[in-house]
A and B are shown apart, each in its own frame.
Chain A
């Protein structure tokens, strides 16, 4: 399959991250995959936001999980320059509805709470929102926490899933190919690796195990070219415009 790119948080270097504006613009630029992050609200809804706290990306304060969906809908999102915008934190329902009318795929990362605690029941809520919008088959549920991936697989064995692994997640001294084994053991269809961990051995191991390999978060053109030459399947990037051009050159 030809390599593709995913607009990370909708294209966080260009627009307010995880905003409907960012998702719409990335779709308009031709992105085939949108990456986003979800947390649970106090009233059990699924909200699209990266951090477990509100300070960095909104004009609110405190933890996301302490707020109702209604309270979150009143907040404003900040742009890449930190300035407040007219955008509000969307619910996963809003993004699912947006992509339901396109062919775009969703990479949904299930986050943990402020103390890195797993949100009880968030996996089921995410799956039900995706199913309700009819985009379950076009979604891939991702997490750093292997427990979250296992629960998603238990609830929906056919759901595509991604185990995410960063530089700090590998045991000291472990080779990056260990990450491939972890994904395989867990039954994840995809492995999302910090791009700095990716070398020829990782790509070979992933493809031998029939695991789709995604590299995050690649914003630099030279790094994109290097990863494409190595054979990664998905470039996750804050600069969908740059990735579109780099991939376009190969076409």
Chain B
């Protein structure tokens, strides 16, 4: 080990100690908690890297979410015209980037020239991350990944996106730390066919649940072979959670941002809280520990 490497290692160690201290402080100093003893397993996912002044689904957002102690980062992926997997929520570029048009009709090289916008529309220096760049950022941390596979601008599945996502995850050894999510059962079926060991989550919206029996989400997730079901928190009831448990599924609630709602879903016994406010959720779940 060269002297400069020794110094670098010492610095890294110091940083580690500092952040461990910060984490302890964050938990110990949490605001008044909710009653309940079984909350140790509740985990917090930073939705699109978490809201803040930073742009959604940016490397800055993911970096900050990791620093703020999120257990998972949640993100969305699309396929470029030339088959690269990129991190972005919408199927079109217009809302969150300086570009226009469909992601699926744009070459990766053209996407690289674009920059992300903040929530108020201001352009930033942040590029659209590739899935590879996000995985590289995540790799040295303990946090896990909730990866939603999206559909194209015409709501059609991207042909071959499942293979490409799995290839990226395997290259970087992150498949065991990832839960692949989709609203489309077919996407999860394809993931399972390609790699039965990968955990998957079927996402279910409020409108889909309102018109059906409370156990519809759980049955559908089970039929897709999913390990998790991710439900709009406004549609979550004790019955819905109970039916998922009866099917052996873990339950994720999205997107839970205000304190009262975070406390409500924790009371229902969900396993993962997906939120734009990982800092706030952390404080509430921390106080329960």
Name A residues whose Cβ lies closer than 8 Å to a Cβ of B: 13-15, 20-21, 24-25, 27-30, 85-87, 98, 101-103, 221, 239, 241-242, 245
Stretch of B19-27, B136-144, B171-179, B231-239 at the chain-chain interface:
B19-27
B152 within 8 A of A: no
Asked if A241 and B18 sit within 8 Å, CB to CB, the answer is no
Tally chain B residues at the interface, Cβ within 8 Å. Answer: 23
B68 within 8 A of A: yes
Hey, which chain B residues are within 8 Å of A29, CB to CB?
A: 64, 67-68
- Name A28's contact: one of B26, B54, B259, B280 (CB within 8 Å): B26
Given contact pairs A28-B22, A28-B67, A245-B60, A20 touches B29 in the complex (Cβ within 8 A): yes
Which chain A residue has the least Cβ–Cβ distance from B23? Answer: A28
0/1 per residue, B162-180, Cβ < 8 Å to A? 0000000000000000000
B69 within 8 A of A: yes
Q: List 8 A-B contacts (CB under 8 A).
A: A14-B52, A20-B29, A24-B279, A25-B68, A27-B25, A28-B23, A28-B68, A86-B31
Closest Cβ of chain B to A92, distance in Å, is 15
Hey, which chain A residues are within 8 Å of B68, CB to CB?
A: 25, 28-29
Within 8 A of A (CB), among B53-78: 53-54, 60, 64, 67-69
Asked if A102 and B22 sit within 8 Å, CB to CB, the answer is yes
Asked if B54 and A101 sit within 8 Å, CB to CB, the answer is no
Asked if A30 and B26 sit within 8 Å, CB to CB, the answer is no
Hey, which chain A residues are within 8 Å of B24, CB to CB?
A: 101
B275 within 8 A of A: no
Asked if B31 and A241 sit within 8 Å, CB to CB, the answer is no
B283 within 8 A of A: yes
Asked if B29 and A24 sit within 8 Å, CB to CB, the answer is yes
Which chain A residue has the least Cβ–Cβ distance from B284? Answer: A86
Which chain A residue has the least Cβ–Cβ distance from B68? Answer: A28
Q: Give the complex CA separation of A29 and B60 in angstroms.
A: 11
Asked if A241 and B60 sit within 8 Å, CB to CB, the answer is yes
Asked if B26 and A24 sit within 8 Å, CB to CB, the answer is yes
Residue in B18, B25, B31, B283 with the greatest tally of chain A CB atoms within 10 Å: B25
Hey, which chain B residues are within 8 Å of A20, CB to CB?
A: 29
Hey, which chain B residues are within 8 Å of A87, CB to CB?
A: 31
Residue in A27, A30, A85, A87 with the greatest tally of chain B CB atoms within 10 Å: A27
Q: Give the complex CA separation of A28 and B52 in angstroms.
A: 15
Closest Cβ of chain B to A68, distance in Å, is 20
Shortest 3 CB-CB contacts between residues of A and residues of B = A28-B22, A27-B22, A28-B67
Hey, which chain A residues are within 8 Å of B53, CB to CB?
A: 13-14, 239, 241-242
Q: Give the complex CA separation of A86 and B125 in angstroms.
A: 33
0/1 per residue, B1-29, Cβ < 8 Å to A? 00000000000000000110111111001
Hey, which chain B residues are within 8 Å of A24, CB to CB?
A: 22, 25-26, 29, 279, 283
Asked if A241 and B54 sit within 8 Å, CB to CB, the answer is yes
Hey, which chain B residues are within 8 Å of A14, CB to CB?
A: 52-53
Closest Cβ of chain A to B64, distance in Å, is 6
Asked if B29 and A103 sit within 8 Å, CB to CB, the answer is no
- Name A98's contact: one of B25, B54, B67 (CB within 8 Å): B25
Asked if A28 and B19 sit within 8 Å, CB to CB, the answer is yes
Q: Give the complex CA separation of A29 and B17 in angstroms.
A: 14
Which chain A residue has the least Cβ–Cβ distance from B19? Answer: A28
Closest Cβ of chain B to A202, distance in Å, is 29
- Name A30's contact: one of B25, B67, B279 (CB within 8 Å): B67
Asked if B25 and A21 sit within 8 Å, CB to CB, the answer is no
Q: Give the complex CA separation of A90 and B131 in angstroms.
A: 41
Q: Give the complex CA separation of A86 and B18 in angstroms.
A: 27
Residue in A98, A103, A241 with the greatest tally of chain B CB atoms within 10 Å: A241
Asked if A101 and B25 sit within 8 Å, CB to CB, the answer is yes
Closest Cβ of chain B to A239, distance in Å, is 6
Which chain B residue has the least Cβ–Cβ distance from A102? Answer: B21
Hey, which chain A residues are within 8 Å of B67, CB to CB?
A: 28-30
